[in-house]
């Protein structure tokens, strides 16, 4: 996964929740921005990504099929701080 500028985002928390059972699987993105889940049952999942300083991402209906690798390209957007700064000229 990357940010808006294309830089890799390492250390992001990634959670996949199986839709039928609500069982969750967790991973953390590597220094290359990659993450892997192993031994997941064939099903549909909701994948959520959280990282400090970025808006959360939620992807619904992610399919996991037998003996396959699914690539989920993700781009994180910088989170707004919600603060305003008012500047006044000095006299």
Q: How open is the CA angle 44-66-1, to the nearest 5 degrees?
A: 60
Domains of the chain (ranges, CATH numbers):
2-76 (2.60.40)
The overall pTM is greater than 0.95:
no
Average pLDDT over every residue of 44-69: 93
Contact 9, 1 (CB under 8 A): yes
Spacing of C-alpha 24 from chain mean position: 14
Instruction: Output DSSP code: residue 3.
Output: E
In percent, how much of the chain has pLDDT > 70?
90
- Helix, strand or coil, per DSSP, at residue 77: coil
Looking at residue 85, its pLDDT comes to 57
């Amino acid at each position: 996964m990357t940010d808006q500028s294309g830089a890799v985002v390492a250390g992001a928390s990634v959670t996949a929740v199986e839709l039928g059972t609500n069982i969750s699987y967790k991973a953390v993105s590597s220094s290359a921005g990659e993450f892997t889940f192993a031994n997941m049952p064939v099903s549909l999942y909701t994948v959520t990504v959280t990282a400090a300083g970025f808006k959360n991402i939620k992807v619904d209906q992610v399919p996991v099929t037998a003996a396959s690798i699914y690539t989920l390209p993700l781009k994180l957007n910088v989170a707004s701080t919600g603060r305003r700064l008012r500047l006044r000229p000095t006299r």
